[in-house]
Structure 1
Amino acid sequence: MYVNANAATTSSNSSDSSDSSEAATTTAASSSVSDVVDAANAFLDTLDDDQQSEVLLDFTEANATAWSNLPCGSTCRVGIEFSTLSDTQLTAAKAVIEAATGTGSGTGYDQITQILAADDYLGETASGYGSGNYYLAFLGTPSTSGTWQLHFGGHHLALNLTYKDGEVEGTTPYFVGVEPTSWTEDGTSYEPLAAQSDAMQSMLSSLSTSELSEAKLSESFSDVLLGPGDDGDFPTTKEGLAVSELTSAQQKLVLAAITPWVEVADDTTAESVLSTYESELDETYIAYSGGTDFDTQGDYVRIDGPGVWIEFVCQDGVVYTSKIHYHTVYRDHNTDYGGEFSF
């Protein structure tokens, strides 16, 4: 569970960091969770019995890990498909996601809506894409008591927020990608992962030549290492450059690079989680492979701490083959799926 933001303090003591990581993450977000539960129940009230049976599922490992970065529909996902909902039901479904996620511009719910827009944009060029191909499920019964999970996703998005006794128990895994990385439609410009890309580039650009050399990985990456189906497969040894070797200013850039992913959760939870990760910076490592401009297949960056795990990678485009597209994943060593399963 997530520690209260006011209780976390920065420490280089490994046992202190371990304790905070194991306690990892209870927030006093009861009011926020109540809002999510209220929105979930309002959505359920719009559904008939058959539709409710699609949404309300058991919180099992098989259901929780049913997510993918592919446009594979119900063959790799559980829940009710957005395209089957009426306008009223769709509005209520989106209200659940909005209540559960962050309010920042370019992060949280705003970012999620842009990812859905990206799939609609792809759907104008290629079949099988679109915001209608996204699925929402409640694993367990939405409540301020007991354990349940908000499970939402489709191509290029997997949102897993786990609740226990009215508090946020886990905010990961969170997979998010985008193709193309930017576009303009009807006079509006979109760049859904600009916050992540810009923050990672700022972090890497602050490194000296020798620091870049120490952070460079010998491996090359065509995708994230811990994507769908790779639950719990964290490397046993941390690689790259220890954040403890960096200046205070550089450490702030590392924390800033973590922030856009953490802000997927409601604001209270995000603040608390980020405070925990800040207290663990001395045991956190940054690493990269390929280049640092994020414009070439295989450009890759990682942040790996006692709790936080973030990957960001560039791939050649699938639909827009002349352009790069991004895949990223945010996990927590201790609280993926609320720490409910052993991998």
Structure 2
Amino acid sequence: MHAFRFALVVLCLATGCAQAQMRAAAEALVASVDSAKRSKLVLPFDDAQRTDWHYTPRSRPGLAFADMDAKQREAVHRLLKTALSEIGHRKVVNIVELELVLRETQFGLSFLRDPEKYAIVIFGTPDAVKPWGWRFEGHHLSLSFTLRGDRIASTPSFFGANPSEVRAGPRKGLRVLSAEEDEARKLFALLDEGQKRTVVIDARSYGDIVTTNKDRVSPIDNRGLEVKAMNPAQRAQLRKLVEVYAGNFEPALRTARLARVEEGFENVRFAWAGTTARGSGPHYYRIQGPRFLIEYDASQDDGNHVHTVWRDYDGDFGRDLLRDHYTMHH
């Protein structure tokens, strides 16, 4: 019990440190722009666009890379690094650079493929006590963070890759989200035939992640294989797969996500739809627990176009910590 309490104290201290670093980086970014750009960069915390997120090419609130100088772009990356691990930040950089691959291959849509169109927006004023938040978003990226005091909510978080594997050109062989596929296939390979029949819930994938860009989600259904029906090796591999997603974030946020997964871990379900052999076409899987949902979809471009998302039923956009805040103040 004492060890558990000590771990909680360490986690709280680490999260507080992350909050302070994130706030300082956001304040530095705001200070780096003039008043005209600041009016685009900073919006009210209760602006409706805070929960209006997407992962397709479209206009976005905030300040785009196209409107920034080199120092301001560096400030954006410093803010991203307060929230992401080295692995997670590298994925962000690579996903943005995939726009250049698409520009070279999708001639009719090349005008939409622009690494300059990724945007940062801050909701509210960075503060040590009052709620505020920020989002970095563009094609195949949407990373939302909501802060109150020393607490940080980091969902929804979306990472995508098109192509999933670059098959020609100077970036040939690049697989930005390789572990998300490879570790899932390792788990599938560990299952016996009876378990596979339970795991595969549909012969076809769904064309996209099932929850798309909804601002609020709930459990999809109760299909798939429960952890309680897995052996120790399969459970360990499922945890390793979840770690791929949690490991995109800095240590305190990673730990908080994994703690969420452990709440009712016996009831977590793994489900698959579509083809099961590597390279055979469209496929999809999800990991669904009492508190969270991870979706992976590779339906488009014959399975060479990936969308992934982590959702929190109570905590998306900081709803749980904001509920605590409003209850305390009213």
Q: Same fold (TM over 0.5)?
A: yes
> In the superposition, relative to structure 1, how do residues 128 and 236 fare at CA in structure 2: closer, same or farther (>3 Å)?
closer
Matched, 1:336 2:316: yes
Deviations 1:114-158 (A, max 9, x none): 111112322233221122111101112122221112211111111
In structure 1, the residue matched to 2:179 is 195
Partner of 1:65: 51
Distance 1:279 1:205, change over 3 A: same
User: 1 CA distance for matches of 2:314 and 2:150?
Assistant: 19
Say how many residue pairs are matched: 312
Q: Aligned partners of 2:40, 2:307: CA distance in 1, in Å?
A: 28
- Counterparts of 1:311-322 in structure 2, within 5 Å, are 311-317=295-301
Helix, strand or coil at the partner of 2:249: coil
Unaligned residue ranges in structure 2 (runs of 5+): 324-330
Partners of 2:202 and 2:272 within 8 A in 1: no
Change in CA separation of 1:61 and 1:265 when aligned onto 2, cut-off 3 Å: farther
3-state DSSP class of the match of 1:152? Answer: strand
Task: Give the root-mean-square deviation of aligned CA atoms.
Answer: 2.5
Separation of aligned partners in 2, 1:219 and 1:213:
11
Q: Which amino acid aligns with 2:96?
A: L
Q: CA deviation at 1:329?
A: 1.3
- Alignment pair present for 1:96 and 2:79: yes
Aligned to 2:98: 118
TM superposition shift of 1:40: 1.1
Is the contact made by 2:157 and 2:309 (CA closer than 8 Å) also made in structure 1? yes
Q: In the alignment, does 2:77 pair up with 1:86? A: no
In structure 2, relative to structure 1, the CA distance for the partners of 1:5 and 1:278 (3 Å cut) is farther
What per-residue deviation string (whole Å, max 9, x for no partner) do you get for residues 286-305 of structure 1? 11111223535531101000
In the alignment, structure 1 residue 182 sits paired with structure 2 residue 165: yes
| Structure 1 residues 292 and 270: CA distance shift in structure 2, 3 A | same
TM-aligned CA deviation for residue 251 of structure 1: 0.8
* Offset at residue 196 of structure 1 (A): 1.0
Deviation of residue 159 (structure 1)?
0.4
Pick from 204, 208, 215 the counterpart of residue 223 of structure 1.
208
Q: Percent identity?
A: 23
Higher relative contact order (CA 8 A, sep 6+): 1
Shift of 1:255: 1.1
Match of 1:30 in 2: 16
2:242 maps to what in 1?
258
Q: Which ranges in structure 1 are unaligned for 5 or more consecutive residues?
A: 9-24
Partner of 2:327: none
Instruction: State whether structure 2 residue 145 is matched by structure 1 residue 161.
Output: yes
Alignment check: 8 A CA contact 1:158 1:174 kept = yes
One of 273, 298, 301 as aligned partner of 1:289: 273
CA separation of 1:308/1:26 partners in 2, compared to 1, >3 Å: closer, same or farther?
Answer: farther
Which of 295-304 and 307-316 deviates more?
Answer: 295-304
Residues 296, 314 of structure 1: 8 Å contact kept:
no
Give the one of 253, 269, 273 matched to 1:269: 253
The reply to whether residue 150 of structure 1 matches residue 134 of structure 2 is: yes
Other structure's SS at 2:255 match: helix
Indicate conservation of the 8 Å contact 2:164/2:177, yes or no.
yes
- Give the alignment's TM-score, normalised by structure 1: 0.83
Give, as a single letter, the amino acid of the residue that structure 2 aligns with 1:58. P
| Structure having the larger proportion of residues in helix | 2
Aligned to 2:89: 109
